[in-house]
Structure 1
Amino acid sequence: MTLKNTLDNIQQAIAGLTAPGGDFEIIQADVLGQSLPVYKPAPGSLRDIYMACLQHNQKTFLVYHQQRLSFMDTYQQTAKFAYILTQQFDVKKGDRVAIAMRNNPEWIVAFMAATSLGAVAVPMNGWWTTEELEYGLQDCGAKVVVVDNQRMQRIEPFYQAMDIRAVVISSAANSQPSTDTQFNYSELMSACADQQMPTVEISTDDDATILYTSGSSGKPKGVVATHRSIINTLVSWLLLAVGSEVAGAKPDNMPEADDLVALLTVPLFHVTGCHSLFLLSLIIGRKVVMMHKWDPQEALKLIEQEKVTYVNGVPTMSQELLDAAENTDRDISSLVELASGGAARPPEHVRRISETFKMNPVNGYGLTETNAMGAVNAGITYIECPDSVGMPSPAVTEIRIVDEQGNSLPAGERGEICIKSPANARGYWNNPTATADAFKDGWFHTGDVGYLDDLNMLFIVDRIKDIIIRGGENISCNEVEAAIYAYEGVAEVAVFAVPDERLGEVVGAKLFMKANASITEQQLVEFLQDHIAAYKIPSHLIISEEPLPRTATDKIFKREIKEQYLAAMQASV
């Protein structure tokens, strides 16, 4: 069967499923002033989705080290913590509840509890420094922050001055008793009897989350998603899975629904971890095995032990997992689907997944601003067309390519990728200027350059925004430059992406010092450690003895600096 036939069959199946009376019937609705297609049977809020826990009951949902929680356990803990948030912390609809910790079951309980109350969950980047956490908590105006011990140490210097109360998740060995401003999570939960989920009226277009993303403008921006926007993403993924099965494009080795097990390898503060691994698993009854941190050998152990069927992470992870699998005696035959997102996966990796390991390769394209919705390439279509990120996610997402004047371009012509969908975020928190620049007439302007081919498959070829994508983490060049400029004596700096075989891209920087000033690489790294997360610190540093080259308009000529450095790297190989 040709690629075109496969795509046509999937589209035909989806058309039947979304027709009037279908399981995924689509209707037009007013979404924040825009008339958009939405799913008629979709749940009204995330709290409605959490009710799926009652259906899955005692089936195992979360596995973390020695801890195991059923769907019912998770729901009951959520109801209890939601009660605590309302009664002891006066959290009301619209209040922000920040979450700053590593992946663990309490992260999920805190998220579910906050959004069940109509409050706004604000997952914070777990790698952020004290300075970055202070910015995020101040920007979102959090009333409560749920933190682990490590993040508590980082916010200790400032959180009381911001009138934020902290709920601390501690291990038994590191547990501290509650104080007036710090509250021990275990103490709070142990002292509270089982509760019913608090009843709060939640509208489908109410704010649900604020996730911070690094763009080209410097400081991270808070992306505000509504209940509707997140739910439309989840339902779209379900639709694609059902449509592929109806069309006969589902791989033969896919397990039954009761046997689905996902390995959580990526942070929950990203849409991939939060939406495709956590929230989607709630709906379909999939067990989630949580890793403390990424380690390919530990991943192989967990795949064998828990019979993991699905792994999703950045391409680096899938490559390291396959490398480790070639030299192991562990039985990983349960693993049938290996997905990635956040960066391009080389075509040879796709062939390796499908031919050598007989797994189903999956790739997705989406952004925080689209709640991970965009395009999907999976199975047969991905194997046939590995350079593409796939067709636009059915069936409520539109993608168009535009020129600099905003005119739509025909198939094959390159331009900016724009996405319109009810899954789009409503904008940036407290940032109307950035919102107006990025969200125009319902279209989100991604800052990515690409084209659609004659089969409506999307290809990404470049980036307009001045960002670096390191192992799936977006890094603003402007933010890193601002941090370096804060070092006394720096006259000029240019930050740029350097290709990296393992991480895709890493941070490079070239700087020029003022007269009578000097700096070493070690001095700069030590300085930056207090200001930006470790993954943003340059791993390639050039200290120039001459001023940096400039364009005719007197701007630092970053492209030339990058090209010269990459040419020098190539020549030294």
Structure 2
Amino acid sequence: MTETPMPGMVPWPEELVEFYRSEGLWQDRNLFQYIEDTARSSPSKTALVDTGDGSRLSYREVIDRANAAAWRMRELGFREQDRVVIVLPNSWQLVVLLLACFRTGVIPVMALAGHRRYELTHISARSQARALFTMDTWRDFDFRPLTQELENEVDTLEWSFIARDHGPHARSLDDLLAPLDLSPAQTAELDAISIDPLLPALFQLSGGTTGLPKLITRTHNDYAYNIEVCSEVAGLTEDDVQLAALPLTHNFGLACPGVLGALTVGATSVLAPSPNPVKVFEAMEQEQVTTAVVVPAVAQRWIAHEAEHRTGKTVSLRVLQVGGSRMPDELAPRVQAVLGATLQQVYGMAEGLINMTRLDDPEEVITTTQGRPVSPHDEVRIVDPEGNDLPDGERGLLLTRGPYTPRGYFNAPEANEKSFLDGWYCPGDVVVRRPDGNLVVQGRDKDIINRGGEKISAEEVESLLYQIDGVEQLAVVAMPDEVYGEKVCLYAVIRDGHTLTLEQACEHLREVGIAAHNLPERIEIVDRLPMTKIRKIDKKVLREDIAAKLAAEEQ
């Protein structure tokens, strides 16, 4: 087992590797093995319930299908450290494919079902992916012609695997995941694959804080520990039924503890393609869901629906994990009051550090803070702009490092210089640490917009909008929204003789192929933009302006 990372990967220092091993944090096992152990002890128990197509898979069926897919991938020529891009909604196919990748050492890149040509071209090229896995259609979007475009644009892409109607040019994902009775020799050949737990198990995507997504390296060792400590703090056990209504390609829904945590402890995961309260509440009642994972915007929809309709279908819900963006203090108490569940606030990042309120914390902690680190080995500093440590109670930038926080992005030296310093990761979040160790998120230092947990780079959207003829100057800023927390507002100065409407701006971004959550939802045409003393656009003034306008319109 080599200690040398793959090219482009930033390793942990050797002394930390040995320390994490000696402390039992890193167990040098493939992620697949943890779930395989559960399947051996509870083979007939239901592992996955897919509300999209009605499928129910036992632990034995999940492992058997993953082994079948792993064998077929090896026959096709996939080998350890090959990269593949996964663009699938919540489904049993996504989970089984992911396990097949872990089994073979193939590294999945966890794209979002909402990503389009603009993001997927970059992700596929940056990762040097050999294959793309997706559905035929999703929410009225046809991925089949897009996969052909991507194969033409990205030199390394050899195959596309498409579920349901795969069309004439792609391979069938359904066939790849079909059951297959492997011989003892075939199983032994899979068992003989040597997978270094210090190498990537998967690539998560950064939130796009400085442009197109960066690849976050998550190894088998660090991700297994991430899943373990999150499961412990969430109180997840084999008796739980977990509802997965957030995209599983997000770190939160996948491993905090997420569906991988549920499969590791022997719980049942109910996979929902949408968090729509009508359908989700039906599933809650039918499957007796005990724990669920949502962002604040979804929590607000669920609370409003239950308060209005009094369905009584959430009575089995024990814990509601809320993260992705800060939970409004005034909404937090209503989780218990309306849904009957204990709120667990979760604040973290796919780059590592996860904070959670504890289930037995006082109500004041649960409803007004975003929790504290899940591991005693997590290190957290709060610093001023010059990097000086600040005392508890003072507002500052968060820095963190630890046994599940990678030391750098994959193949991104420039981004690493900005975001990592001597092993400390700086996400750009502004927080206050209370004397009891709980963090209160105050906002962002970087120029991003958090739309219901989706991080939008204002700089990236601006660069694309500047391609429109007649644009003199523009700025993309966050505007407050009761449901999503923030939405995208566009301020623009237009040259004489030209016009720009919101629909024109959005149509241009659609043609570029950017994900829909990046689209502006309001436009303000102005004569000039406010400037700071150093001649930069003063976005603070613009955010205050749009907030004031929205407040005035509500009166």
Give your verdict on TM over 0.5. yes
Question: 1:17 is matched with which residue?
Answer: none
Asked whether the equivalents of residues 356 and 372 of structure 2 are also in contact (C-alpha less than 8 Å), the reply is: yes
In the alignment, is residue 449 of structure 1 matched against residue 430 of structure 2? yes
The answer to whether 1:430 aligns with 2:411 is yes
Instruction: Give CA deviations for 1:229-269 in whole Å, capped at 9, x if unaligned.
Output: 21121121244357xxxxxxxxxxxxx94431011100011
Alignment of 1:465 with 2:457, yes or no, is: no
Counterpart check, 1:157 vs 2:157? no
- 3-state DSSP class of the match of 2:84? strand
Equivalent-residue separation in structure 1 for 2:198 and 2:237 (angstroms): 31
SS, match of residue 351 in structure 2: helix
Equivalent residue for 2:34?
49
Instruction: Please give the alpha-carbon distance, in whole angstroms, between the structure 1 residues aligned to 2:468 and 2:288.
Output: 50
The equivalent of 1:378 in structure 2 is 358
Q: Normalized against structure 2, the TM-score is what?
A: 0.89
**3-state SS of the aligned residue for 1:408?**
coil
Structure 2 residue 241 is the aligned partner of structure 1 residue 261: yes
Q: Is the 8 A contact 1:335 1:359 kept in 2?
A: yes
Query: 1:495 maps to which residue?
Result: 476
Q: Offset of 1:31 from its aligned partner?
A: 3.5
Cα distance change, pair 124–152 in 1 and its aligned pair in 2 (3 A)? farther
Q: Distance in 2 between matches of 1:215 and 1:403?
A: 24
Q: Does the C-alpha gap of structure 1 residues 459 and 329 become closer, same or farther in structure 2, counting only changes over 3 Å?
A: closer
Letter in 2 for 1:58: S
* 1:205 Cα deviation after fit: 1.3
Contact 1:149 1:168 in 2 (8 A): no
Amino acid at match of 2:127: C
Residues 361, 382 of structure 1: 8 Å contact kept = no
Of 91, 96, 100, the residue aligned with 2:87 is: 100
Indicate which of 208, 217, 230 corresponds to 2:210.
Answer: 217
Matches of 1:131 and 1:548, distance apart in 2: 28
Does residue 1:125 correspond to 2:112, yes or no? yes
Residue 299 of structure 1 deviates from its aligned partner by 0.7
> 1:567: how far off?
1.9
Is 1:519 matched up with 2:507?
A: no
Partner residue of 1:562 out of 518, 543, 551: 543
> Could you tell me how far 1:279 is from its partner in structure 2?
0.8
The 8 Å contact of residues 118 and 206 in structure 1, kept in 2 or not, is answered as: no
C-alpha spacing 1:322/1:549, structure 2 compared with 1 (3 Å): closer
Report what 2:24 is aligned to: 40
Q: Please give the secondary structure, in 2, of the residue aligned with 1:571.
A: helix
Contact 2:462 2:475 in 1 (8 A): yes
Report the Cα distance in structure 2 between the residues aligned to 1:41 and 1:551, rounded to whole angstroms. Answer: 48
**Distance change in 2, residues 1:432/1:316 (3 Å):** same
Residues 382/103 of structure 1: CA separation in 2 closer, same or farther (3 Å cut) = farther
Residue 366 of structure 1 corresponds to: 348
Q: Please point out which of 395, 405, 416 is paired with 2:386.
A: 405
Which among 167, 192, 195 is matched to residue 202 of structure 1?
A: 195
Gaps of 5+ in 1: 1-29, 243-255
Partner residue of 1:146 out of 133, 156, 160: 133
Query: CA shift at 1:557, angstroms?
Result: 1.8
Give the Cα–Cα distance (whole angstroms) in 1 for the partners of residues 177 and 279 of structure 2.
31
Question: What is the CA-CA distance between 1:398 and the residue it aligns to?
Answer: 1.6
Residue 67, structure 1, aligned to residue 55, structure 2: yes
The question of 1:535 aligning with 2:517 is answered yes
**In structure 2, what is the Cα distance between the partners aligned to 1:136 and 1:456?**
37
Distance 1:214 1:354, change over 3 A: closer
Code of the residue aligned with 1:50 in structure 2: it is I
TM-score (norm: length of structure 1): 0.86
Q: Is the 8 A contact 1:377 1:391 kept in 2?
A: yes
**What residue identity is the alignment partner of 2:509?**
L
In structure 1, distance between residues paired with 2:358 and 2:25: 25
Answer with 393-402 or 294-303: which moved more: 393-402
Asked if structure 2 preserves the Cα contact closer than 8 Å seen for 1:364 and 1:377, the reply is yes
CA distance in 1, matches of 2:95, 2:467: 37
Task: Find 1:486's aligned residue among 467, 478, 482.
Answer: 467
How far is the alpha carbon of 1:300 from its aligned partner? 0.6
Deviation of the 1:571 alpha carbon:
2.6
Secondary structure of the residue that 2:480 maps to in structure 1?
strand
The answer for the alignment partner of 2:227 in structure 1 is: 234
Q: 2:254 aligns with which of 261, 274, 280?
A: 274
Change (3 A) 1:382 1:106: farther
Displacement of 1:91 after TM fit?
Answer: 1.5
Matches within 5 A, 1:414-429: 414-429=395-410
Q: Distance in 1 between matches of 2:70 and 2:197?
A: 19
The amino acid that maps onto 1:83 is W
Structure 1, 199-208 or 444-453: larger mean CA deviation = 199-208
CA distance in 1, matches of 2:435, 2:488: 36
Contact kept? 1:339, 1:362, Cα under 8 Å: yes
Change (3 A) 1:382 1:147: farther
- Counterpart among 126, 135, 138 of residue 122 in structure 2: 135
Unaligned runs of 5+ in 2: 1-10, 138-142
Q: Distance in 2 between matches of 1:382 and 1:268?
A: 30
Partner of 2:491: 510
Question: How far off its partner does 1:278 sit?
Answer: 1.4
**Local SS of the residue matching 2:227:** helix
**382 and 491 in structure 1: CA distance in 2 versus 1, 3 angstrom threshold:** farther
The aligned counterpart of 1:335 is 317
RMSD of aligned residue pairs (Cα, Å) = 2.1
1:348-367 mapped onto 2 (5 Å cutoff):
348-367=330-349
- Alignment-derived partner of residue 183 in structure 1: 171
Deviation at 1:193, TM superposition (A): 4.3
Contact 1:362–1:377, Cα closer than 8 Å, also in 2: yes
Residues 189 and 319 of structure 1: CA distance in aligned 2, closer, same or farther (over 3 Å): closer
Compute the displacement of 1:444 (Å): 1.0
Q: Is the 8 A contact 1:226 1:426 kept in 2?
A: no
8 Å contact kept, 2:315–2:339: no
Q: For each residue in 1:204-226, what CA deviation from the matched residue of structure 2 results, as whole angstroms up to 9, or x when unmatched?
A: 21112112223332222111111
Distance 1:70 1:521, change over 3 A: same
Distance 1:105 1:191 in 2: 13
| Identity across matched positions, percent | 27
Secondary structure, in 3 states, of the residue corresponding to 1:410? coil
Change (3 A) 1:382 1:53: farther
In structure 2, distance between residues paired with 1:368 and 1:277:
13
Q: 1:163 to 1:237 in 2, by over 3 A?
A: closer
